Chain A
């Protein structure tokens, strides 16, 4: 796992490029979810650049760690991270949602390399991750579990009953090779989560379901990595990472705005966003500290 400042700074620097590519793809598709991709993209980068054992040139390597994106609508962020990691060409990203493109509007595992399960109907990917974690335990050797499994859920998604069925099941089987990350960006299509159907107190709920609960800043790479390390060190029970995030993070006119949940930017808005992100990247790269890198 990357711990040195150099790697942290490369993650932080790449985060600007990821945001630009993600928004460019969504704008090209003229539909998609900017808010919930920008809240999730830093956690995804931290997973694929450091935390997970995986081989981009061998996506079906049986011993790989798995990431299941349960909040499937955030998949442009995942496509972007996968492309940067080498699973497929970055040139594919602007084909998002086009007829014939391998980049479906929501994840399809048998179409896109690096996608582990088809998701998009909310509440389901988490259960699939449990099955993978069970298989990893069945295949364990003296060196331990065969692989680790990560899944990301949304807070709107947490209103689904299946999430709580799954939350009951993982501790029963002592799945300490499973990590659930909540992208806690506080918004959903119809409004703020607290208004639509509050989840509070979230952390208490997961503790009551016998999970090890860790909180992190989902835009601060050191904080995300520390949470992953704590999950790895936790034995006998699964870990729930409550990642505090901001919808639309990194683009000032999108941050915290519910309206950016499921609407693509116009070309002009994209240009504004790209200008802002490029400037922030230059500032970060030259001074070693942009506003994103500081995690606010």
Chain B
């Protein structure tokens, strides 16, 4: 159980890239200021739906991400709300352009990095966004969001239409089991407690939230009471909610499909070290490269599926 692409019977399972593509295509109707830029990956990032519906507001910039990010900044500075799409690995690699043309120019660009993490599967490391959160999180004024399911993705896109300042939205190729309830309201900067517990808090983001919830169920069978917090906004992070969890459960396990350096784990450590220092285990891609494989196989290999997360939790609790 717990493989990220497998559907639970009756559960809704949608890739966050699809939820993103649907959201911009829908919101484009009521928001004429919404424009989309793409670097030859519209099929993969799912910006294609918007392109077909609003061709005059869709800019195909070719395989030239640096120029695309700069042009997005210019569109923003002239009053548009650009969503700038590519793989997370490729957009975050144009760090200089994000840093100066977007952040330091106070441009309200929404950078959408799809194909987050090892969950993309067969294409291997070069296509996997694995250091993107760390890079984007380091920039002043940048907001970093990674939704855990389709409802949260739609809510995040809507919030980003009016949000002031640059933002990075990280989406997945693989399907994500829905973890929120119908009618879910996305609140930027607020963590979501999905499962309550008192022995340990698992803090997860994006594609690892679903598996974390399942891991909590597995651990409950062992008699371990696990709280699960979904951090969709990695920056600014919900320090109050994390501090409360640290006080009440004493131990924190962070789980992410990203390097443990500088990502969610880094953000949680930084936040709690200053206000509520407790024992923290950072789990994710452990400072190694990703590799090719099936998405399910890779989640098992990197212990990001429910069984893997549960085993890491058991080891952490000793």
Contacts and interface: CB of A to CB of B under 8 A. Distances in A.
Contact of B74 (A62, A108, A131): A131
Interface in A75-134: 108-110, 116-121, 123-134
B106 A127 contact: no
Nearest to A111: B106
Interface in A142-169: 161-162, 165-166, 168-169
Interface in B245-297: none
A127 B65 CA distance: 11
A135 interface: yes
Interface stretch (B97-105, B110-118, B308-316): B97-105
Contact of A135 (B56, B66, B79, B106): B79
Given A124-B70, A131-B77, A138-B80, A165 B64 contact: yes
Contacts of B97: 124, 127, 162
A24 interface: no
Interface string B80-98: 1010000000000000110
A27 interface: no
Contacts of B47: none
A169 B64 contact: yes
Counting contact residues on chain A (CB < 8 A from B), the size range is 35 or more
Nearest to B76: A131
B55 interface: no
Given A109-B77, A134-B75, A138-B80, A126 B70 contact: yes
A134 B104 contact: no
A117 B77 contact: yes
A165 B101 contact: no
Contacts of B99: 121
Contacts of B68: 127
A132 B75 contact: yes
A121 to B, nearest CB: 5
A131 B72 contact: yes
A109 B14 CA distance: 40
A185 interface: no
B35 interface: yes
Contacts, number: 111
Given A109-B106, A117-B105, A121-B100, A128 B64 contact: no
Counting contact residues on chain B (CB < 8 A from A), the size range is 20 to 34
A126 B101 CA distance: 10
A116 B77 contact: yes
A135 to B, nearest CB: 3
A138 to B, nearest CB: 7
A136 interface: yes
Contacts of B76: 131
B71 interface: yes
B57 A138 contact: yes
A288 B145 CA distance: 63
B196 to A, nearest CB: 43
By CB atoms of chain A within 10 A, which of B59, B79, B100 has the most? Answer: B100
A130 B66 contact: no
A162 B66 contact: yes
By CB atoms of chain A within 10 A, which of B77, B96, B97, B105 has the most? Answer: B105
28 contacts: A108-B104, A109-B105, A110-B105, A117-B74, A119-B101, A123-B66, A125-B70, A127-B67, A127-B101, A128-B71, A128-B73, A128-B105, A129-B74, A130-B74, A131-B73, A131-B75, A134-B71, A134-B75, A135-B78, A135-B80, A138-B35, A139-B78, A161-B66, A162-B97, A165-B64, A165-B66, A166-B67, A169-B64
Interface of B: 35, 56-57, 59, 61-62, 64, 66-80, 82, 96-97, 99-101, 104-106
Interface of A: 62, 66, 68, 108-110, 116-121, 123-136, 138-139, 161-162, 165-166, 168-169, 173
The 7 closest A-B pairs by CB, nearest first: A131-B74, A127-B70, A135-B78, A165-B67, A165-B64, A131-B71, A132-B74
